Structure 1
Amino acid sequence: MAARPEFIPTGDSAVTSEPARRTRTGGGRRVPRHTLSAEAIVDATLRMLDDTDCEGISMRALAAELGVGTMTLYTYFRSKDELLQAARDQVLDSFHPPDVSGDWADRVRACCQALYRLLVERPAVLRVLAVKPDGDGDFADTATAALELVLSQLRAAGLGRQETARGYVVLLQYTFGSALRHVFAPARRNGENIPSRLQMLDPVAHPTITDLMPELVITHGSGEEQYLFGLDLILDGLRKAAAVQH
């Protein structure tokens, strides 16, 4: 819980030194007296983020959802940004790589796949990371178990220090990027999607695209299957890079 500052707030990013009286400010569910906590606020934030982006969430709207006064939230979090980071951290802190048998590639694959599933099932985390340019650093600060596993396994594979660092970044960016596309790409204007656009192309001008149209349509809707295909390509490349160094 954040320390209470001493000045009075004037807007959505302000803080207060005294709790505000808990009054119902909207159509949300009033929390029982004396049960509001930082955890309850974070849980409500995650529920809202699963359905709307960060721009659509305000401290006032969250307070209405909880049935408390807006100023009450500032006794727990100094700003909306701090609250969003807490919501992100709560999910990522709970992530633990699965314990699997096999070689280094099997363990890295299982870790990345589990992270991909977590992100797809919890869009809230993706929404927070998508609006922060330092998302990679944020991940490293929280899901350290995953970071340690991937780095240690890449080193065990025989990759050099710099190659290990680069390999980790490639895996992380690919996993986050694939999850982002899987969750948010289907929401296009007027139902537009890539397969439907491809089907309108002139087959004379684009014979290869036309020929592979059935496979392209399937691939664009394959989700995790497509993610794993790309992940295996990355792991194969890292395996070859490690072999070259021996």
Structure 2
Amino acid sequence: MPVAQPVRSARRRAPRNSLNPDRILDAAITLLDRDGAEAFTMRALAEQLGVGTMAVYSHFRGKDEISDAVAQRLLDTIELPPAGTADPRGELHEVCRGVYRLFTEHPSALQLLTTRQIGGEDAIAVIDRMLALLRSVGLSRCDAARAHVALMQYTIGSALWNTRRARALSEDGARERVRAKLDVLPADRYPTLVDLVPELLCAQDEGAVQYEYGLDGVLRGLLGGR
């Protein structure tokens, strides 16, 4: 009696001549956001697209070139507010919010932008706008430069914290385990923490709201009454 052979499902191929740089970059962003930069390979990208690896090489020289193009495309999504609104603090808030939104919506962007040498007018435009706004409120050259770095450190750090926390808490039972650990803390040793557990959990869960709260405080500290 003949033995039945296992049926192998054919990989779904993309339509002939449908591949183009834009489609490759769209797939690369999807792959990076879903699996992370560590899992990003030319083979994985080709499988995401449903094509052979060499088809991708016909549009890009390799992984590094695609990574640079992805990083630049993501930077293009940062929308700068209209200039000259007579509200430098508000404009700074909007620029920082755009950077935060980029890194939370596309977690892979953080690793790409910190490991690649990214040029391009969009990245430069963001930096230039922030520096101009900081100078316009009266900060010295040195203070404007340091304030820009401080705002980026806070924004990028907040995005990294919130995306990693959200990912960790998405696992089954993760929130319950965190709450259970906090509930058994001895009140005599950690009285303030135990008392503020509900408020602390609320603040940590409201990622974007908490970022806005902190950003307002950072701007007040950097700009004072300006």
Q: Same fold (TM over 0.5)?
A: yes
Cα–Cα, structure 1 residues 139 and 234, in superposed 2: closer, same or farther, change >3 Å?
farther
- Kindly report which structure 2 residues correspond to 1:110-189, keeping only aligned pairs within 5 A, or say none: 110-129=94-113, 132=115, 138=118, 142-188=122-168
Q: Provide the residue aligned with 1:14 in structure 2.
A: none
2:182 aligned with 1:202, yes or no? no
Q: TM-score, normalised by structure 1?
A: 0.76
Cα–Cα, structure 1 residues 102 and 202, in superposed 2: closer, same or farther, change >3 Å?
farther
Shift of 1:142: 4.2
Q: Provide the residue aligned with 1:63 in structure 2.
A: 46
Q: Distance in 1 between matches of 2:179 and 2:80?
A: 35
Shift of 1:181: 1.7
8 Å contact 2:31–2:48 — kept in the other structure? no
Q: Distance in 2 between matches of 1:236 and 1:157?
A: 12
Q: Distance in 2 between matches of 1:139 and 1:179?
A: 22
Relative to total residues, which structure has the larger helix share, 1 or 2?
A: 2
Match of 1:232 among 213, 216, 219: 216
2:36 aligned with 1:53, yes or no? yes
Query: What amino acid maps onto 1:125 in structure 2?
Result: A
Q: Distance in 1 between matches of 2:73 and 2:153?
A: 21
Q: Distance in 1 between matches of 2:99 and 2:180?
A: 30
Q: Distance in 2 between matches of 1:52 and 1:144?
A: 29
Q: Distance in 1 between matches of 2:40 and 2:128?
A: 33
Q: Provide the residue aligned with 1:211 in structure 2.
A: 195
Query: What amino acid maps onto 2:31 in structure 1?
Result: M
8 Å contact 1:97–1:146 — kept in the other structure? yes
Q: Distance in 2 between matches of 1:42 and 1:200?
A: 48
Aligned length: 213
Which deviations, in whole Å up to 9, do the C-alpha atoms of 1:4-25 show, x marking residues without a partner?
Answer: xxxxxxxxxxxxxxxxxxxxxx
Q: Distance in 2 between matches of 1:205 and 1:140?
A: 53
Q: Provide the residue aligned with 1:220 in structure 2.
A: 204
Q: Once superposed, what is the RMSD of the aligned Cα atoms? A: 2.6
4+ long deviations beyond 6 Å? none
Query: What amino acid maps onto 1:98 in structure 2?
Result: P
Shift of 1:197: 3.4
Q: Distance in 2 between matches of 1:181 and 1:89?
A: 23
Query: What amino acid maps onto 2:33 in structure 1?
Result: D
8 Å contact 2:102–2:109 — kept in the other structure? no
Q: Distance in 2 between matches of 1:156 and 1:194?
A: 45
Shift of 1:127: 4.6
Unaligned 5+ segments in structure 1 are 1-25
SS at match of 1:51: helix
Shift of 1:83: 1.4
Query: What amino acid maps onto 2:92 in structure 1?
Result: V
Q: Distance in 1 between matches of 2:187 and 2:113?
A: 40
